[in-house]
Structure 1
């Protein structure tokens, strides 16, 4: 895609976002959620605690 084509695409998206015909309809059955900071959700993979440190076998190394 050339820069000119990309700029045309951006212009089309900008026009669509500004145009009132493309504005989303407000939802009638919206139920507001009450978020509580005291209730932290539990992770799906939480297995209650830290895993033990397992050493690398002899001759193995790690790098970041």
Structure 2
């Protein structure tokens, strides 16, 4: 039996903000501007895939999309 602590696959806005060193308000602004990976939304919850956020940070946090492209 493994005693390793498993990390979650999905993380909250608070977790992402902490990873980036910004407030949650700034996180939502970055998302609206197309500067963050898109989250997964289900029910009343919004979560980000941990592996996608880490990969995005490793690539230097490039813009993800043009905000004009968003519906």
- The TM-score, its normalising length taken from structure 2, stands at 0.19
Larger radius of gyration: 1
Higher helix share: 2
Where relative contact order (Cα < 8 A, 6+ residues apart) is larger, the structure is 2
* Between structures 1 and 2, the one with greater strand share: 2
